[in-house]
C-alpha cells in the first residue's frame, strides 16, 4: 500500500510514496510529536534526502512539490 502525500495548505494530492520511501523520509526528518502528520520540506531538505540515499521517486516527488517556492508543508495518509 502506498502512502498518500498532499499539500497541507490546500489538500492537493502531490503523489504517492512506497512504504519504504515513506519510512526513509520519516527516519530522516524530525517529528514534533507522535501524532504529527506533516513535514516542512524545502530545497535544502530535498538535497539532504538525496545525499542520504533517498530514491529517485522520493526526491522527484518532493522536488516537484517544492518547485520554486521557499518550501511546502506536506501531509500524509496511510490508507
* The three cell numbers locating residue 20: 519504504
Query: What pLDDT does 33 receive?
Result: 62
First-to-final CA distance of the chain: 7
**79 pLDDT more than 80:** no
Query: What pLDDT does 78 receive?
Result: 78
Residue 54, exposed/middle/buried by CB under 10 A (0-12, 13-18, 19+)? Answer: buried
The pLDDT tens digits of the residues spanning 26-47 come to: 999 976 666 778 899 999 999 9
Q: Per-residue pLDDT averaged across 52-73, rounded?
A: 97
Query: What pLDDT does 21 receive?
Result: 97
Query: What pLDDT does 30 receive?
Result: 76
Mean pLDDT of all residues in the chain? 92
Amino acid at each position: 500500500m502506498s502512502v498518500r502525500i498532499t499539500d497541507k495548505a490546500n489538500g492537493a494530492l502531490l503523489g504517492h510514496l512506497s512504504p519504504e520511501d515513506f519510512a526513509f523520509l520519516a527516519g530522516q526528518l524530525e517529528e514534533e510529536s507522535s501524532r504529527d502528520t506533516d513535514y516542512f520540506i524545502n530545497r535544502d531538505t530535498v538535497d539532504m534526502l538525496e545525499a542520504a540515499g533517498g530514491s529517485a521517486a522520493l526526491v522527484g516527488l518532493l522536488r516537484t512539490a517544492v518547485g520554486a517556492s521557499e518550501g511546502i508543508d506536506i501531509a500524509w495518509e496511510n490508507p
